[in-house]
């Protein structure tokens, strides 16, 4: 049985709303790929899921697993573009992961898995917000370790 048009529109709206909130966290944390990018990824993934399942008439094999696989492949290229290496630091991994998650949220919303979509979003948001607590603690730990065990390459040259 095909869901009503309003049910399908609601699925896309859920995907867009939840992934926009995920993008809001990225923007508030001053990271690339914010509200628009995350929302568009989520909306697009939901749309591909719905179109793959219901868009080609009743006499076709919807094969939603193929649609999901193609969304995951496509988002991999988009996510890879957000990862940058600068000297010894890699930036953008979390943003790439949230874009990947936005695609997953869009797929699950598009498939009508509302509870799973909302619960996964809440878990992801908790992880992203927990960083604001754990990062200062980890930085403090590293400073203490550096004070106790300085890197011999960073010691002043004794000949100077």
Q: Across the strands, what pairs with 18?
A: none
Q: Is the pLDDT of residue 157 over 60?
A: no
Say how far apart CA 15 and CA 155 lie, in whole Å.
53
Write out the two tokens for 65: 């697993």
Look at residue 36 and tell me whether its pLDDT is greater than 90: yes
Which structural domain range is residue 42 located in? Answer: 5-149
pLDDT at 81: 77
From its phi and psi, is residue 150 left (phi > 0), alpha (psi between -120 and 50) or beta?
beta
Find out whether 117 and 101 touch, Cβ atoms under 8 Å: no
How far is the first Cα of the chain from the last one, in angstroms, to the nearest whole number? 81
Highest mean pLDDT out of 44-48, 49-53, 114-118, 153-157: 114-118
Q: In whole numbers, what is the pLDDT of the chain averaged over residues?
A: 85
In the block, tokens 């948001």 appear at 125
Residue 83 lies in a domain: yes
d(CA 143, CA 19): 36
| Beta strands in 75-131, from DSSP E residues, in sequence order | 84-86, 89-91
Return the pLDDT at 19: 95
- Residue 159: inside a domain: no
Q: Is residue 156 part of a domain?
A: no
Q: Is residue 119 part of a domain?
A: yes
On whether residue 111 sits in a domain, the answer given is: yes
More confident site: 104 or 93: 104
pLDDT at 69: 82
pLDDT tens sequence across 10-22? 999 999 999 999 9
Residue 35, pLDDT above cutoff 80? yes
Report the percent of the chain where pLDDT is more than 90: 39
pTM score, two decimals?
Answer: 0.77
Q: Report residue 110 as tokens.
A: 């598009």
60 in a domain, yes or no? Answer: yes
Q: How many domains does the chain have?
A: 1
* pLDDT number for residue 68: 81
Q: Is 154 part of any domain? A: no
Asked if residue 65 belongs to a domain, the reply is yes
Count H helices and E strands in the chain, helices first.
5, 2
- At residue 136 the predicted structure's pLDDT band, cuts being 50, 70 and 90, is confident
């Amino acid at each position: 049985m095909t869901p009503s048009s309003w049910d399908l529109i609601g699925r896309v709206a859920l995907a867009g709303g939840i992934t926009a909130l995920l993008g809001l966290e990225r923007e508030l944390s001053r990271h690339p790929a914010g509200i628009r990018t995350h929302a568009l990824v989520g909306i697009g993934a939901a749309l591909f899921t719905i179109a793959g399942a219901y868009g080609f008439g009743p006499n076709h094999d919807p094969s939603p697993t193929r649609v999901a696989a193609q969304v995951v492949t496509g988002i991999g290229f988009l996510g890879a573009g957000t990862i940058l290496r600068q000297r010894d630091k890699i930036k953008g991994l979390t943003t790439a992961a949230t874009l990947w998650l936005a695609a997953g949220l869009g797929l699950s919303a598009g498939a009508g898995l509302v509870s799973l979509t909302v619960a996964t979003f809440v878990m992801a948001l908790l992880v992203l917000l927990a960083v604001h607590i754990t990062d200062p603690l980890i930085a403090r730990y590293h400073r203490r370790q550096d004070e106790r065990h300085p890197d011999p390459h960073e010691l002043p040259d004794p000949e100077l």
